[in-house]
Amino acid sequence: MKVTLQNLTKVFPGRNKQVSEDVIAVNDFNFEIPDGKLIGLLGPSGCGKSTTLNMISGLEKPTSGKIFFGEEDVTDLSPELRGVGLVFQNYALYPHLTVKGNILFPLQNLKKDKKLTKEQMNEKVEYVSKLVQIDELLERKPSELSGGQQQRVAIARALVKMPKILLLDEPLSNLDARLRLQTREELRRIQKETGITTVFVTHDQEEAMSISDMIVVMNKGVMNQYGAPQEVYEDPKNLFVAKFLGTPPINIFYGSVRSGALYIGKTEVMKAPGLDDREVYVGVRPEGFIINENGPLSCDLERVEVMGRDTSIVARHNYFTGAFIRAIISSEDAPRSDLKTVSFSLKKNKTYIFDKITEERLYLEN
């Protein structure tokens, strides 16, 4: 089921003297979630991800704007009538019910013509519990399950009504690192098998990048960029998106454009055809550095970390915005670790220029 968000806005009004300012949690969101895809809704804590999701599910009412499921306007429809499955960070299982009881619960509450027979219910429970691989655990209580198993039960419970849309709000955040990896692979498989349109909310860029067909990057209630994960990584529209995606993160230098050349400090690092003189930020991905004795960017070498195939070079530069530059190069090219300085040239396609004031990306002429 395709979902369309049209000028979707949510304002939480200031309540009292302490909180007098209105919070614009979601600001004029326009977006189409394609049918059958898994969309990662990504952004830092407080940027409006949950609010967006809650408006899609109907738990929050938009201040303005509309939501469509397919061609149907569901903006004023109650959550129960929307046919969405929800999974939250804390599994929120009923502790006194067995796993089976928990999964059955949404089916037992179906009304009128939607009512199911016992056999139909059991069939559905069997199907989803196999799908999420908890069919061996049906008679246990939630307290007898690991965190990962509990979250699988929550996913099964969300899926059992065969929702048109599955909404997941940081579903893996309570799991330890290994389970998180494993469960996200599982989620991907389940989504592919069922073909249910899914919105997956996370603040973890790596998680979003790894399982999503498409990602939406949000900041302060505003959608910044939408695209396939690799596409957004390689072609960020602004400084925020560039900084938010990638581990290790992009390296940001203070720079300037003067007479058609790009400078970091007083050193010209590359030509900048088509750009007017101005102050800029220069972003270089860790894989964008080339070790080159005669390269323009000379840095103080802090240390060299060999990690098998790759080597990470940690260095300093006066015009770097953070503490340490991190460059990833092939171990074959690794410099001696006792050197005091290391010089780089920059790969053009891994170097990004952003206006210092607007923080929007600036593009070179070819």
For tokens 């895809």, name the residue. Answer: 37
Do residues 217 and 241 make contact, with C-beta atoms less than 8 angstroms apart? yes
Do residues 191 and 198 make contact, with C-beta atoms less than 8 angstroms apart? yes
CA pair distance 17, 20, nearest whole angstrom: 5
Which parts of 142-266 fold into alpha helices (H)? 147-159, 177-194, 205-211, 229-234, 239-244
The DSSP bridge partners found for residue 345 are: 290
Distances (CA, A) of 76 to 28, 86, 335: 18, 18, 63
Q: Which is nearer to Mg ion, 134 or 175 (CB)?
A: 175
Q: Which is nearer to ligand ADP, 26 or 262 (CB)?
A: 26
Do residues 93 and 154 make contact, with C-beta atoms less than 8 angstroms apart? yes
Q: Is residue 48 a contact point for ligand ADP (CB under 6 A)?
A: yes
Q: Which of 3, 5, 39, 47 binds ligand ADP (CB under 6 A)?
A: 47
CB of 30 to ligand ADP, least distance (A): 18
- What's the one-letter identity of residue 206? E
For tokens 């949690």, name the residue. Answer: 25
Q: Is residue 129 a contact point for Mg ion (CB under 5 A)?
A: no
Distances (CA, A) of 232 to 13, 63, 87, 240: 33, 30, 26, 12
Q: Is residue 50 a contact point for Mg ion (CB under 5 A)?
A: yes
Instruction: Report what 48 binds from Mg ion, ligand ADP, none; CB cut-off 5-8 Å by kind.
Output: ligand ADP
For tokens 């780089």, name the residue. Answer: 344
Residue 3's closest CA among 48, 41, 56, 76? 56
Q: Which is nearer to Mg ion, 131 or 170 (CB)?
A: 170
Q: Within 12-41, which residues bind ligand ADP (CB under 6 A)?
A: 12, 23, 25
Q: Which is nearer to ligand ADP, 50 or 183 (CB)?
A: 50
Q: Is residue 49 a contact point for ligand ADP (CB under 6 A)?
A: yes
Residues in the chain: 366
Q: Which is nearer to Mg ion, 41 or 134 (CB)?
A: 41
Q: Is residue 50 a contact point for ligand ADP (CB under 6 A)?
A: yes
CB of 16 to ligand ADP, least distance (A): 12
Q: Is residue 57 a contact point for ligand ADP (CB under 6 A)?
A: no
Q: Is residue 45 a contact point for ligand ADP (CB under 6 A)?
A: yes
Q: Which is nearer to ligand ADP, 54 or 129 (CB)?
A: 54
Instruction: Report what 23 binds from Mg ion, ligand ADP, none; CB cut-off 5-8 Å by kind.
Output: ligand ADP
At 12, list the tokens: 């939480």
Q: Is residue 51 a contact point for ligand ADP (CB under 6 A)?
A: yes
Q: Which is nearer to ligand ADP, 10 or 124 (CB)?
A: 10
Find the part of the chain contacting ligand ADP (CB under 6 A) among 46-54, 99-107, 125-133, 181-189: 46-54
CA pair distance 171, 40, nearest whole angstrom: 12
Q: Is residue 46 a contact point for ligand ADP (CB under 6 A)?
A: yes
Q: Is residue 223 a contact point for ligand ADP (CB under 6 A)?
A: no
CB of 43 to ligand ADP, least distance (A): 6
Residue 165's closest CA among 359, 4, 327? 4
Q: Which residues bind Mg ion (CB under 5 A)?
A: 50
Q: Which residues bind ligand ADP (CB under 6 A)?
A: 12, 23, 25, 43, 45-51
